[in-house]
Amino acid sequence: MINLVYQRDATIESEGKDMTQCITRSQRGQFSMLPIQYGTSSLGAPLYYFPAQCQAENAGLLFAGMHGDETASISLLSAGLRTIAHARLRHHVIVSANPDGNQLGLRSNANGVDLNRNFPTQNWSGNGTVYRWNSYAETRDVYLNTGEYGGSEPETHHLIELIDSLQPTFILSFHEPLACIDAGQHKKLGKKLVEMFELPLMDGVGYDTPGSFGTWCDEQAIENITIELPPIATDDVTEKYLNTVSSLLVDDINHR
């Protein structure tokens, strides 16, 4: 375990007040906290989350990496966790909800299933889905499976179990590269995030998403918002958004 050294970082603020101490950059190379395993992936990799450390009754859940090839948001959440003092972590965090996809460079999990179309919703479809190869492709034409049934994949199943156990007051899922805050019906929290990330507020992403995590949350009456980062490199994401995410991790954003 590293010997933690703290420095005041005036850029990590909320409502104009210095909210926390942050770990000096030279010591952000590893975590100062240990995660808890909440399940295993399709290939047997551990699924980890970092538990909230203060005022857990108001804790939300933030996660990234449901699509394994969306690495900027994974790097951003990891960097945020390694920047704030452990004791000030206000929300639960999953850095990567799809470790197999991350390791293999896949949007899907190891079974070829798009996890964001595998939740047991009323509109779940077993007909598969398509996605855009990259931001330069004109059409969404790369096929992925949606599973044998809603919730068929271990990553989906264990995430639902964790949410049932933690009962977060809200959930923020990080994706890329659509550059928006997809708030759906949750406009109040969405507007706060628009101010923090300086991204436009949207209601949907412009195409159907049967079996999506957001739809499942709405059916469970869980406040949820998707933060879609723009197309961005890892170096740039920690330069542009680190202070924002660090503030978010220590901020009681849904109760102020």
Catalytic residue among 15, 155, 228, 239: 228
Whole-angstrom distance, CA of residue 197 vs CA of residue 193: 6
The first and second tokens of residue 63, run together, are 């996660």
| Residue 198 marked as a ligand binder | no
Catalytic, 198? Answer no
How would you class 27 by CB atoms within 10 Å of its CB: exposed for 0-12, middle for 13-18, buried for 19 or more?
A: middle
Distance of CA 66 to the CA centre of its chain: 8
Contact 47, 35 (CB under 8 A): no
| Residue 70 marked as a ligand binder | yes
Return binding residues for Zn(2+). Answer: 67, 70, 175
Active site residues: 228
Q: Summarize the annotated binding site as residue ranges.
A: 67, 70, 175
